[in-house]
Copies of this chain bind each other. A is one copy, B any other.
């Protein structure tokens, strides 16, 4: 069987690549892109069969740009994966923990390792555009006394050494990624549905929308709102719920939501990731 190509944002070795391997195995062919918009475009144009994008992190919150891109592009969610974010200190010989003076990484990763820097006050934090990109830069430039904070995959991709693992302050640091494709695919074991909808701007509209799930004892797992551009103070609502669109209960709930909403789209039905 042909190996599927997966587009993601960031350099080779990004946490998205680690998530792609966790979901699809190590033989996946990857297509790194500079921006999330380019990641979606790679699937729309057929350059990649899939893309994998982060949608929420348990510390930083939702990746709102990707919620907007889900609505703008007609791609389908076909899978999800949760990745524990483990920050590793990565360097090249002769750099050691003792000779360390500078650490490069994305500002969010640096901020998530504040305890390490508090314990090593002589080590300077240097913000860089990307976690894996900072390992790549060290591989190219060979700066003495410098290391990067990035994924285990980044160390493997650039043949670097992990000087220390678990630099992150909080172990409860997970990122949820979505796998998107041009074609919808609903497996019998799919047990999660994502939808986006908007309602007329009348009192109680959101409550009525949620009632279609509550009245059928359908469990919601996530709700997000984003502005409806051109209609100030109105919103799109994104909902994830447990079920399969082929079950009668879910079909009825979606038909019921269709009566209340003035816009409704199913973004995908897929297997819920292990938590």
Give A220 to B207 CA distance when docked, in angstroms: 9
Among A72-97, those with CB < 8 Å from B are none
The segment from A57-65, A115-123, A257-265 that touches chain B is A57-65
Digit string of A199-218 for contact with B (CB within 8 Å is 1, else 0)? Answer: 00001101110110110010
Given the complex, which residues of B lie within 8 Å of A221, measured CB to CB? 233
Contact residues in B for A59 (Cβ distance below 8 Å): 227, 229
Q: How many copies does the complex hold?
A: 2
Contact B224 A225, beta carbon cutoff 8 Å: yes
A229–B275 CB distance below 8 A: no
A224 and B59 CA atoms in complex are apart in Å by 16
Is the Cβ of A229 less than 8 Å from the Cβ of B64? no
A170 vs B231: C-alpha distance when bound (angstroms): 11
A247 vs chain B, min Cβ distance (A): 16
**Chain A 49-68: CB-based contact to B (< 8 A → 1; otherwise 0):** 00000001111110010000
Q: Chain B residues near A223 (CB, 8 Å)? A: 206, 223, 225, 235
Residue contact B203 to A219, C-beta cutoff 8 Å: yes
Asked if B227 contacts A58 (CB within 8 A), the reply is: yes
A230 x B172 contact (CB < 8 A): yes
* Further pairs besides A174-B232, A206-B220, A223-B225: 13, Cβ < 8 Å: A58-B227, A58-B233, A61-B64, A61-B226, A61-B227, A172-B229, A172-B232, A204-B219, A206-B210, A207-B211, A207-B213, A222-B225, A225-B225
